[in-house]
Amino acid sequence: MPPMPIREFRNKMEAAGVSEPAIRAFERNYAQLADTACGQIPESAIQPVESLPTLAEISATLTPQPALLNATAVLKLNGGLGTGMGLAKAKSLLPVHDGLTFLDLIVRQVLHFRKTSGHMRFLTMNSFSTSADTRAALAKYPELGDPDDIELLQNKTPKVDVKTLRPVVWEKDRDFEWCPPGHGDLYAVLATDGTLDRLLADGIRYVFVSNSDNLGATLDLALLTWFAQSGAPFLMEVTARTPSDRKGGHLARRGGQFLLRESAQCPESDMDAFQDITRHRFFNTNNLWLRLDRLRAALAASDGSLPLPLIRNLKTVDPRDKNSPEVYQLETAMGAAIECFPDACAVAVPRRRFAPVKTTADLLTLRSDAYDIRPDGTAALVPELRGIPPHVELDANYKLVDQLEAALAAGVPSLKGCRALRVKGPVLFRADTIFQGEVTIENPTPSPLPVPPGLHCDTHLAL
């Protein structure tokens, strides 16, 4: 008989209809919770990755095989609400460029690919918080197919009360007692209700997975062909780290085996090394390729859920109430599965395949002229930036999307010639303002002040 807290969690999850693979994955994570060192990956235990095959090399040395498209699905992870930016619905429904949302652009990508290259199966993994909004938004695209055939539903897991290590109880809103278990839940979702078997029965052997907020992540036929010919079960796309990526997970090796280290897994004493982009040079884009027959075998060997390392996230039960009780959200990272396959591989890809929006600073950059939205729906850096996006730092005055919207009411400034923009204090941007080089703007007052129009190059603006 499991210990009492575990039994409480199982009872709660079973009553809510959570799948058995997801329950077992939660129990594995919970068993690690008491070990404070669990999931920590010190610098002394790993080695940097010095070099990798590149997409440019792959594209130059093989002939793409369009027939593989019939055996391939594209899966967008669409479970995020963007609560860190103050959103309360699916992040993919946020307008990002010219009034188009992430989801609009993703659909444009899929339909363009089907028209120009061949059939491609499309899937989304929604969470219990994003399913209804997403299905409603996709209703205007009936050509995509039956919504039931498109959607995979992410599991939900209980938040853990920090003081008692039992399921948290929050009478004000019982929905806040639950959280998504991280995108590492993908594997348990695929193992649920025969989903993986159905995909294989339909002839789907390969799945390309990426985040819905990464508009650069489209199916690349050369990379699909290389992956299929390699025989590898798992492929991670990585790209060169820039200062903007210092806090993101990086690729490393341990005993010759690839692994992914996230910031939550790095001891505080090693954080300088973690953020050293000249030492750990490759950043996980979360663009992953899976070979489904090998994944099915790995899941069968591990009781339906891959043994991914725990990420213990400390939050408050109500994310909008910092005085509400502290909880642990037990999560796993999808990319951490690279460590579950000894013959997994990684490929270095250009920055154009990684254009996510994690903060309002990212959103400002994407809405600016630093990016173009191409006819195929992809977001691409303009040539002037030579593959490196502007480094934008916005202070707490712009943490939430509505705060950024207020600052951009008069238009989005030009950033296509900008290397770095740092903003301290509340300001009002204008469409006729051009930033070039490195620009710092400071307003020491609590009242928003307008940025002067015109060109500002390599300067410090004190408003």
Residues 177, 317 contacting (CB under 8 angstroms)? yes
Q: Where is average pLDDT lowest: 114-118, 208-212, 413-417?
A: 114-118
| Helix, strand, coil percentages for the chain (3-state, nearest 5) | 35, 25, 35
Whole-number percent of the chain with pLDDT over 70 = 98
How would you class 307 by CB atoms within 10 Å of its CB: exposed for 0-12, middle for 13-18, buried for 19 or more? middle
Helix (H) or strand (E) run with residue 202 in it = none
Is a pLDDT exceeding 60 seen at residue 282? yes
Rounded CA separation 345/229 (Å) = 13
* pLDDT value for 87: 77
Query: What type of residue is 282?
Result: F
Tell which residue, 74, 63, 152, has the closest CA to residue 119: 74
Neighbours of 174 (CB within 10 A): 9
For position 374, what pLDDT does the model report? 86
Provide the percentage of residues in the chain whose pLDDT is more than 90.
68
For residues 66 and 109, what is the distance between their CA atoms, to the nearest angstrom? 17
**Rounded Cα–Cα distance for residues 304 and 189 (Å):** 10
pLDDT digits (tens, 9 = 90+) for 73-109: 999 999 887 777 877 788 899 988 888 999 999 999 8
What does the alpha-carbon distance between residue 296 and residue 292 come to, in Å, rounded to a whole number? Answer: 6
Specify the pLDDT at position 373: 87
CA-based max dimension of the chain: 71
Domains and CATH numbers, the chain: 4-353 (3.90.550.10), 360-462 (2.160.10.10)
Residues 274 and 261: beta-carbon distance below 8 Å: yes
Q: Which residues of 175-209 are buried (b: 16+ CB within 10 A; e: fewer)?
A: ebbbbbbbbbbbbbbbbbeeebeebbeeebbbbbb
Question: pLDDT at residue 2 above 50?
Answer: no
| Residue 342 in tokens | 């000894």
Beta strands in 374-413 (DSSP E): 379-381, 391-394
pLDDT digits (tens, 9 = 90+) for 361-392: 999 999 999 998 888 888 888 999 988 889 99
Residue 137 sits at φ, ψ, to 5 deg, of: -70, -35
Whose tokens are 């997801």? That residue is 22
Task: Check residue 1 and give its pLDDT.
Answer: 38
Name which residue leads in pLDDT, 76 or 20: 76
- Concatenated DSSP letters of 415-459: EEEEEEEEEES-EE-BTTEEEEEEEEEE--SSS-EEPPSEEEEEE
Q: Which residue has the tokens 């296509």?
A: 416
CA distances from 183 to 127, 300, 352 (A): 10, 20, 22
Structure confidence by residue, pLDDT tens digits, 385-394: 988 889 999 9
Interacting residues of 30 by C-beta distance below 8 A, sequence separation 6+: 5, 6, 9, 160, 330
Gap between the Cα atoms of 373 and 390, Å rounded: 17
Select, from the ranges 30-39, 138-147, 242-251, 445-454, the one with the highest average predicted confidence (pLDDT). 445-454
Question: What integer pLDDT is reported at residue 99 of this predicted model?
Answer: 84
- 209 pLDDT above the threshold of 50: yes
d(CA 399, CA 374): 28
Closest by Cα among 436, 397, 398, 399 to 420: 436
pLDDT mean over 271-286? 95
| DSSP code of residue 347 | E
Burial bucket for residue 435 (CB in 10 Å: 0-12, 13-18, 19+): buried
Identify the DSSP state of 83: G
Give the up-direction half-sphere exposure of residue 230: CA atoms within 13 A in the CB hemisphere: 22
Give the pLDDT band (50/70/90) at residue 37.
low
Tell me the average pLDDT across 58-68.
93
Q: Is the pTM of this model over 0.85?
A: yes
Distance in angstroms (rounded) separating the CA atoms of residues 427 and 149: 46
More confident residue, 432 or 304: 432
For residue 424, the model assigns a pLDDT of 97
Whether 108 and 98 have beta carbons less than 8 Å apart is answered as no
- What pLDDT is stored for residue 59 in this prediction? 95
- What pLDDT was estimated at residue 118? 78
The phi-psi region of residue 278 (left if phi > 0; otherwise alpha if psi is between -120 and 50; otherwise beta) is alpha
Catalytic residue list contains 358: yes
Average pLDDT score over the chain: 91
Residue 273 pLDDT:
96
Angle of helix 4-15 relative to helix 20-33, nearest 10 degrees?
150
293 C-beta neighbours (distance < 10 Å), count: 13
Sign for the pseudo-dihedral over CA of 172, 177, 183, 189:
negative
Annotated catalytic residue within 358, 399, 416, 424: 358
What mean pLDDT do residues 29-53 have?
86
Q: What is the mean pLDDT of residues 352-367?
A: 89
As a whole number of angstroms, the distance between CA 259 and CA 346 comes to 10
